[in-house]
Structure 1
Amino acid sequence: MAGPLAGIKIVDLSQIVSGPMATALLADQGAEVIKVESPGGDPVRTLGPRKGDRSAMFIAVNRGKQGLAIDLKTRGGRTILERLVLWADVLVENFRPGTMERLGFGAERCAELNPQLIFASITGFGPDGPYRNIRVYDPVVQAVSGIAATQVDAKGQPSLVRTLVADKVTALTAAQAITAALFHRERTGEAQRIDVAMLDAALAFNWPEGMYNHSFVEPAAPFPEYGALGRLWQAADGQVAIGMMQDVEFIALARALGREDLAADTRLHTVGGRLQYRDDWAPAFTSEIAARTMDELMEGFISEGAVGGRVNDSANVADDPQVMFNEIVVEIDHGAAGAVRAARPAARFGVTPALAGGAAPALGEHGRAVLAGLGFSAAEIAGFAGEGALVG
């Protein structure tokens, strides 16, 4: 059965993570995505463990796409891109501001070629402003957006989230914005340009808890920073995370640890009480957790409905009982590279299921087939290859 975005055609000119991950999500939901690369290929092809010209990271954010490699500095390359713009419902790019205009394919020109085109532009800091010419990667956005400031180390110094959190939340933001623009076009017939700055996406993502002490315009009583409220707890054979934001959750957790006395202590039945009398329960929780294995703790969490979970190593996340039950990790056949593990689409659709896309393309793998589908003749395709406009 076709996915919810079946029939939507996307030209993906983006590279690295933010744009490619956004279009991979849309491909999982049924869109037809053509990934357009330069002759040198997306830099992520060589980042991390790889087989051939496809790294694990590249595969994760480019699965289910057709691969086309063209040189946009050639007349033939520009001719091909023009045909792609005419074919597409959506164009996605994450070049530095002004690059698409210099190539002759800015939003206005693309709208002239195809008035129904959704033009989605992803930038680091935005298309204009004092930082527009700065090259941007995820750590820079974490720093400027305040995310790093919420990740203080033992010395109280800001540090980085050790994943591409800014890139990935930008991808999610862009994918949602594209589907919203498609929905608007469906209702009104009106296409539009979308601009998503990584800075904007990261700051909005960090705001609810990371910035809650800076939300009221008129000063309010300060509250402990959210990050200071959480920690991991040492078990006999690893670590667990627990939570007790609500009173019922504290009671359930105390019972899961065999401490009915603490569960019955009414002084601890409010957040304020738990903060005030922390020395009366925290050392006991520490001792009870340290005396139990993670399996024993999970059994208690499950039986009492408490908030808790084991800290999984990266290597054993896929073996977690709930991860296995949810069938989150799937395998995708990549031919000579063998099977590659991936996370299936997170959203489950009852009528139009989203499925993990097929293999990520080798550089230019589908070039001739894509061009034939766009209506170019065999002679024209040979000419593009001969002049270096078509690679692969």
Structure 2
Amino acid sequence: MHAPFFGIKIIDLSAVVSGPMAAGLLADQGAHVIKVETPKGDLTRVIGPARGDISTLFTAINRGKRSIVLDLKHPDGAQVLRELVDEADVLIENFRPGALDRLGFSYAAVAAYNPRLVYLTISGFGHTGPYADYRVYDPVIQAVSGFADAHPNPETGAPQLLQTLLCDKITALTAAQAIGAALHARHETGRGQKVELSMLDAALAFVWPEAMYNHTALAAGVQPVPEFGANQKLWRARDGWFAMITPQNEEFASMCRALGVPQLIDDERFLSIPQRRVNMPAMRALIEPLVATEAVDDLIARLGAAGVPIGKVNHKHQLFDDPQVKANAILQETDQPVLGRLRLPRPAARFSAVGPDAAPAAAPHLGEHTCAILRELGRTDAQIEMLLSNGAALAQQPLAVA
């Protein structure tokens, strides 16, 4: 059986991470994605280890796509895009607000000739408001959305940035889900629609439930409680670090028994979840010396078997050898042009009707499929040569690597 989005054609006009990753997730699930790039190419082509015009970051979020290069300011390039959009099910863009409209590809313009199109537009802050025209990257959204404040430095309390592109990826996941919802609505109504998504909205909605629970109830008399993550700290064993959390009474009791301190189960400071939250410093003072002398693997095995939620901190280079990571077969190795042997995660969701996991597909070179796509649109070789010579399109063959 085909993958879930087989037969869905997506025109990916987006760049960097949020939009491309959303389109990449749908490509993983069977969609036919055409990545439309400028002659300069996507910025992520040069971020991370790279050979030629392919980087490892670019590969991870653009695998399985085809690439065409068009100059949308050139009338002939714009005409090619119109023909691609006319045949598409989905368009994804993250231009600055108004930029695509000025090029003639507003939702109203394209819906006039393709009313079934799902048109997803991603912005940093939204299309209106005081920040709408600001340039945005992930750290900016971490700051404004409250993520930086929700993950303070444990020693100083100062807000700090997470060292991953968290808000970009949250936006990508939200975008992919929204596209699926809009396609389902189209199945019911026969019509597409415009879907607006800002990185700020996606990040704020994501961080809200637990990070903002003290700012949710507006009625008088609802008392604040300690911040959800205030006591979330790693534990240190003799030879490594681990995470352990025991919110439920039975989990706390199991931890106490496994560590040889059953008397703490009936200690009045630790009898309930709220009491343990308030008295966490006292509890850690009692538990930390016990675990500090033991090997981390021994602790994981003993406490995990006792029903205690626990996991060892894997450093990046240790992930590949983790027995559960191996059991899940989440990481796959494949030979790909230019970069050679690569290790990449398979799509996280597995569909029982699809069959065995396929090896990750290659990411495209800049303009690698320009000529093929133009032929599919009915252009002759002479017409393609004219588009290339006048700068409306660009085609590039895979780069040779010594």
What interval of TM-score do these two structures reach, taking the shorter chain for normalisation? over 0.9
Aligned partner of 1:245 among 234, 241, 247: 247
Deviates more, 1:351-360 or 1:195-204: 351-360
| Partners of 1:352 and 1:180 in 2: CA distance | 21
1:336 partner SS: coil
Identity of aligned residues (%): 47
Residue matched to 1:318? 320
Seen in structure 2, the aligned counterparts of structure 1 residues 121 and 251 have a Cα distance that, compared at 3 Å, is same
Instruction: Give every structure 1 segment of 4 or more consecutive aligned residues whose post-TM-superposition deviation is greater than 6 Å.
Output: none
Say if 2:344 and 2:360, in contact at 8 Å, map to a contact too.
no
CA–CA distance in 2 between the matches of 1:383 and 1:118?
A: 32
Worse overlay, 281-290 or 323-332: 281-290
Q: Deviations over 1:337-374 (max 9, x none)?
A: 20222111111211135756401101111111112222
**1:212-244 per-position Cα deviation (integer Å, ceiling 9, x unaligned):** 000001242111111212001111111100001
C-alpha distance in 1 between matches for 2:268 and 2:6: 56
- Could you tell me which residue of structure 1 aligns to residue 383 of structure 2? 380
Deviation of residue 67 (structure 1)?
1.1
Deviation at 1:267, TM superposition (A): 5.8
Distance 1:114 1:267 in 2: 65
Aligned twin of 2:217: 216
Alignment-derived partner of residue 257 in structure 2 = 255
Amino acid at match of 1:132: A
- Aligned residue for 1:145? 145
Runs of 5+ unmatched residues, structure 2: 397-402
Q: Which moved more, 1:335-344 or 1:321-330?
A: 335-344
Listed as ranges, the matches of 1:303-382 within 5 Å are 303-352=305-354, 357-382=360-385
Q: What residue is the counterpart of 2:229 in the other structure?
A: 227
Deviation digits for residues 44-63 of structure 1 (CA, Å, limit 9, x no counterpart) = 11112112111111111101
Residue by residue over 1:159-183, the C-alpha shift from the partner in whole angstroms, topping out at 9 and shown as x without a partner, is 1111111100000000000000000
Distance 1:355 1:89, change over 3 A: farther
Aligned partners of 1:26 and 1:81: how far apart in 2? 20
The structure-2 alpha-carbon separation of the partners of 1:342 and 1:164, relative to structure 1 and needing over 3 Å to count, comes to same
Q: Please state whether the residue corresponding to 2:73 is helix, strand or coil.
A: coil
Mapped to 2, the partners of 1:278 and 1:72 lie a distance apart of 59
Q: Which residue in the other structure is 1:18 paired with?
A: 18
1:285 Cα deviation (Å)?
Answer: 1.4
- 3-state SS, counterpart of residue 229 of structure 1: coil
Q: 2: distance between equivalents of 1:251 and 1:42?
A: 53
8 Å CA contact 1:257–1:300 kept in 2: the answer is no
CA–CA separation in structure 1 for the residues paired with 2:280 and 2:203: 34
Question: TM (normalized to structure 1)?
Answer: 0.96
Structure 1 counterpart SS, 2:109: helix
Using the size of structure 2 for normalisation, the TM-score is: 0.94
Root mean square deviation of aligned Cα? 1.6
Cα shift at 1:335: 1.7
1:74-119, CA deviations, whole angstroms, 9 ceiling, x for partnerless residues?
1221111011101110000000000111111111111112111111
In the other structure, the counterpart of 2:163 is 162
- Which deviates more from structure 2 when the two are superposed, residues 24-33 or residues 349-358? 349-358
Change (3 A) 1:280 1:150: closer
Task: Answer yes or no: is 1:288 the counterpart of 2:290.
Answer: yes
Cα distance in 2, alignment partners of residues 339 and 374 from structure 1:
34
- Counterpart amino acid of residue 367 in structure 1: T
SS at match of 1:73: coil
User: Is 1:273 aligned to residue 242 of structure 2?
Assistant: no
* Shift in alpha-carbon separation, 1:279–1:190, aligned structure 2, 3 A: closer
SS at match of 1:226: coil
Q: Report the 3-state secondary structure (helix = DSSP H, G, I; strand = E; otherwise coil) of the residue aligned with 1:388.
A: coil
2:205 equivalent to 1:204:
yes
Q: Distance in 2 between matches of 1:180 and 1:263?
A: 47
